[in-house]
Amino acid sequence: MTTDNEVLEKIKDLLYERLEEIKLEKPNEDSNEEYELVNPAVYTCWVPPKNCLHEFGYDIPGIVVCSEDGEDDGDDVNLNIRLNIQTYDPGLTLEDRLLPNYKGYKDILNLITKIRMILNENPSEIGIVVEKPIKWGLYDEQLYPYYAGYMTFKVKMNPLPISQSISKFL
């Protein structure tokens, strides 16, 4: 038996571990400094859809693993997961200026492809089953130089046993 919070943590840990070779540009306060490449930060919490992670103080590049809603019909339990993904790409850094190229969406799409590969490899190794379809996209409103996208999918879980005490989960 796995709780909703445990599922979110398992997905977070899996992404953190399996995305360790991915390096993306970190926002830089001083445009004269050289940029730094970092691994995507991975969090669990709830962020309203279409909100940018940097507005909430999350590290960028970043992924927030969110629980949207769930369904328990007595036989099957499904939890809907949404990943909020944000990257940063101001453009091409020249010697004397920054040239915006508006290609930051490519980092989002590449990250989504890598996450899809991870979820398709062997998700049962973390004790959950990712059901198809996996959906993804870019949010309509982008706040240059930040780029934001999402993924949604359903996770199949085991029903909670009837005889368990509620205090165990609180």
| Of residues 3 and 168, more confidently modeled | 3
DSSP run (H or E) holding 112: helix 105-121
State the chain's mean pLDDT as an integer.
Answer: 83
List beta partners, residue 93. 98
Task: Give the mean pLDDT of 106-129.
Answer: 84
Percent of the chain with pLDDT over 70: 80
Report the C-alpha gap between 150 and 52 in whole angstroms: 11
- For residue 102, the model assigns a pLDDT of 81
Q: Is the pLDDT of residue 130 over 60?
A: yes
Residue 27 phi, psi (nearest 5): -60, 140
Query: In this predicted structure, what is the pLDDT of residue 80?
Result: 95
Note the pLDDT tens digit of each residue in 65-108.
999 888 888 788 899 999 999 999 988 777 777 778 888 899 99
